[in-house]
């Protein structure tokens, strides 16, 4: 009887343990069947155009920037102030020209006399009244007097230091009353109505970047404003140290906000690709196995996340080209993918065409102001 009771008790314990194990197994299976619902945003792939840009840095310089020097010696009587704007041909500095004026008047008088003498003797020589030697001597004196007059006239002109182009006096190297010598710098004159940007293009792009290539310039020093222009000069010589060739980009600068020696971030267009797939760069996932994106697939009326390996092409700003792995009409996750896992259910908060998303990203990346 006692042994029978022990057997019944053991059987009851075993039965309870079995029930407990079955319950845990069913609970585990139910947990495995649970699928996360993750909020995301997606785009539907469309074929469109893609502009491929090279990004590099350049330096601004004024096209007209010169140190104006004196061609004569003398004392400075007047000089333009720093910051003063002058027109081409306007006097920047005036030297004391009293001695030069006296020399010029004397030379002009001497020339007039020599010219009058030559004209009178020319008529006499034609009538064979005077000798050839007298005639040639009068002609030589006339020519010598003309040369002396031209010399003094040039010296008198040099006493007026004039602006060779429209510009602004950025620096003065002398003061009023100082004595200067020929070749001595007087002022620095700069015209920034039009500026140019100098940059170096890597040699591997030498066959793609030419004069006329589109350029977008960004100046962080003036609030990140962007300007559109084109390459106005592309060099044919490679710098052996940097392995680059020089390009110049001219910009109209009527408000003079762009200043010499500013740094410019440039985007130089290589080419425009047609009928390609472009997605936001933020949708790309990279790991040791390669590059991938999350794509949405339909399963029993639900949208499920699947990871797709892709091959990328050139990137420009916020966009990147997809060469392989995606097709037109695919839905790609572009927001929320960092928390996604394969097999998660997608709660699509927003879906839009890929070209519409790309255009909005381009506008956000470059609020272009054209001059």
Claim: this prediction has a pTM higher than 0.95: no
Most confident of 47-56, 143-152, 308-317: 143-152
CB distance 190 to 212 below 8 Å: no
> CA end-to-end span of the chain, whole Å?
108
Is 127 inside any structural domain? Answer: yes
Same domain, residue pair 207 and 59: yes
Residue with tokens 């740094």: 263
Q: What is the DSSP letter of 288?
A: T
Same domain, residue pair 361 and 278: yes
pLDDT in tens, 253-287: 988 899 999 999 998 988 888 899 999 999 999 98
Is 371 inside any structural domain? Answer: no
CATH code of 121's domain = 1.10.287.470
Q: Based on the structure, what is the number of domains in the chain?
A: 3
Give the span between the Cα atoms of 136 and 133, in whole angstroms.
5
Give the span between the Cα atoms of 107 and 85, in whole angstroms.
36
Encoded tokens for 292: 């991938």
CB distance 213 to 268 below 8 Å: yes
Same domain, residue pair 279 and 233: no
Encoded tokens for 354: 């890929």
To the nearest 5 percent, what fractions of the chain are helix, strand and coil?
Answer: 30, 45, 25
What pLDDT, on a 0 to 100 scale, did the predictor assign at position 33?
53
pLDDT in tens, 288-302: 889 999 999 998 889
Residues 6 or more apart from 48 whose CB is under 8 A from it? 275, 276, 278, 354, 355, 358
For residue 109, give its domain range. Answer: 100-154
Is 356 inside any structural domain? Answer: yes
Same domain, residue pair 267 and 206: yes
Residues 6 or more apart from 323 whose CB is under 8 A from it? 277, 310, 311, 312, 313
Given a cut of 60, whether residue 124 has pLDDT beyond it is: yes
């Amino acid at each position: 009887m006692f042994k029978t009771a022990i057997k019944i008790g053991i059987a009851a314990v075993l039965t309870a343990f079995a029930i407990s194990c079955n319950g845990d197994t069913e609970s585990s299976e139910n947990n495995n069947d649970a699928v996360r619902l993750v909020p995301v945003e997606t785009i539907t792939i469309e074929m469109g155009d893609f502009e491929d840009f090279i990004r590099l840095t350049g330096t601004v310089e004024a096209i007209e920037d010169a140190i104006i020097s004196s061609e004569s010696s003398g004392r400075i009587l007047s000089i333009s102030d720093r910051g003063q704007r002058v027109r081409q041909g306007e006097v920047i500095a005036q030297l004391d020209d009293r001695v030069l004026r006296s020399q010029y008047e004397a030379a002009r008088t001497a020339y007039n006399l020599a010219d009058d003498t030559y004209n009178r003797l020319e008529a006499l020589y034609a009538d064979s009244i005077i000798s050839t030697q007298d005639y040639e001597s009068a002609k030589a004196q006339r020519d010598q007097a003309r040369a002396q007059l031209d010399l003094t006239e040039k010296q008198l002109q040099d006493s007026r230091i004039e602006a060779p182009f429209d510009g602004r006096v950025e620096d003065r190297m002398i003061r009023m009353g100082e004595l200067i010598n020929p070749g001595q710098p007087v002022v620095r004159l700069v015209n920034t109505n039009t500026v140019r940007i100098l940059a170096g293009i890597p040699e591997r792009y030498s066959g793609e970047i030419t004069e006329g290539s589109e350029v977008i310039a960004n100046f962080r020093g003036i609030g990140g404003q962007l300007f559109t222009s084109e390459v106005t000069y592309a060099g044919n010589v490679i710098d052996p140290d940097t392995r680059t060739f020089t390009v110049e980009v001219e910009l109209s600068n009527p408000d003079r906000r762009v200043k010499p020696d500013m740094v410019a971030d440039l985007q130089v267009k290589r080419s425009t690709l047609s009928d390609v797939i472009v997605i936001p760069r933020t949708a790309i996932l990279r790991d040791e196995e390669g590059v991938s994106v999350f794509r949405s697939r339909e399963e029993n009326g639900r949208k499920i996340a699947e990871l797709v390996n892709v091959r990328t092409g050139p990137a420009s700003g916020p966009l990147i080209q997809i060469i392989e792995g995606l097709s037109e009409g695919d839905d790609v996750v572009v927001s929320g993918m960092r928390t996604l896992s394969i097999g998660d259910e997608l709660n699509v908060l927003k879906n839009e065409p890929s070209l519409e998303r790309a255009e909005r990203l381009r506008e956000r990346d470059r609020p272009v102001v054209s001059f």
